Structure 1
Amino acid sequence: MIWDINLIMLFFAVGDVLLVSTEQFRTAMLQIRKTSVVEGETVAFRCMISAVHREQPNKERNWFHLYKNREKVSSLPEPGGIAAVTFIKEDITKNGTGNYTCMYGNQNPGDVKNISHGPPIYLNVQESQYSLMLQLDQQSAMEGMDVSFKCMIPVELRDAIQKDGFFDLYKNGSIVDSQPVPKGLPAVTFSIKKVNKSDTGNYTCVYGKEKIENSANNKRSRPVYLDVTECLTSPTTSAKSQQNNSTESYGLGNDIRIFLSLGILLVLSGIVGEDFYSRQRKHHGEDTNG
């Protein structure tokens, strides 16, 4: 009889523990805008609790926990007055594929694999066809300037690359330049000196052994666009033009000043001459009368 009582007490004690565990960690609803994405995209996991749980008063601040295949990925505290959070995963990779669930409870859930996580949402991450990174130092350049393209292999793909491959730079499907893999960092820089209008176009970096841009055995980057604008007047030409205009204006001003000076001299000479002749005539008249 004593054993029966102990078993009953143990049963209720275990029941209380399970009840506390399930109350501390409630199943939350999870929403994903797209369940199929491509590597490099940003995925937003929206996690929220039901309206019933929102009405229950909480003495302590609770947390949301995001799981993938029942392994915790991330945790965020519950915002004040908002019974939902959004987990952001930027530049997601292929290993992000899996079943995602969300839970709501205290800050340190510990091992809760055996607690109900609710219906999972399966996220499928597809491998991107673009496996290289191509960066252009300036997307818009004027004729006569130098531009540089930096092509590199991402860290997560460096172990699987072909060691004897080449980096090739293409413009609108035609090869522009080629470089072997350097011994150090698996990245190269392509430079174009004194670009002109014909260098405008879409550039792509390709890595591999085959000299074919779209070969299945090669890795390639997203295209980047270079816009080369025409240079109408160079600074030297502009400076010379201003200097010539200034010289011409100065010469014209001198001619006008000389012309005006001569005119004034002629007028003054006429006045002086007329006054001299008037005095001579007057003096001559006085001598005759005397």
Structure 2
Amino acid sequence: MEILTAERECTFKLPGVKKEDSGNYTCVYSEDKQPVNTVSGVEKNAIFIQVTDFMMAQIFVKTPHVFEGDNVDVKCTHFNVKTPKILHVYLCKDGIGVSVAAAQTEEASFKLRQVSKEDSGNYSCVYSLKKHVTSSVTSTSFKNSVIIQVTVLTDHERASIEMDVHHWWVNVIRLLCSVGVVIAAVAVLIIHNFCSKRRHTIKKK
């Protein structure tokens, strides 16, 4: 591209860029007019522009370390676009799309149900204005990603947790029964005092 100017600064606009426009860009200048296709730049002063269908989003997981059989809630947010159009948000595992959701706001939610050991991996979020086949979506950057680790319990560990849960419920029931007994005793005492005062008042009359 060429601009004729006497200013110390000039701006080029690349309209409607495509993937093929990705590459290293440099600026050079000359006092003499040269054919554009014969001009070459210096690579050390270049910037690389990447044109892609996908943009990275932030990913949030409340608890990345979970047990087998748990449900995991994943949220994708911070979409860097200013458009009223629907965005197609993709959840990727180890760089490959595994799920898609449509978003019109600043957030898209995913739920991993009853996870297993095979669900462990590096998860990230990307989004696009275009709809793609989920399995064809890729995420090459792990900068904005989280590692979900699924722990598989042995039969002994599972039995131990179930026993702890059982004891916890037993203690809660005992506490509720104790509180119930106290409330009943207080109620009986109040009723007794009320009846005693009423009988005393009737006798005076």
In the superposition, the TM-score normalised over structure 2's length comes to 0.43
Higher relative CO (CA 8 A, sep ≥ 6), structure 1 or 2? 2
Q: Could you say which structure has the higher strand fraction? A: 1
Larger Rg: 1
In the superposition, the TM-score normalised over structure 1's length comes to 0.31
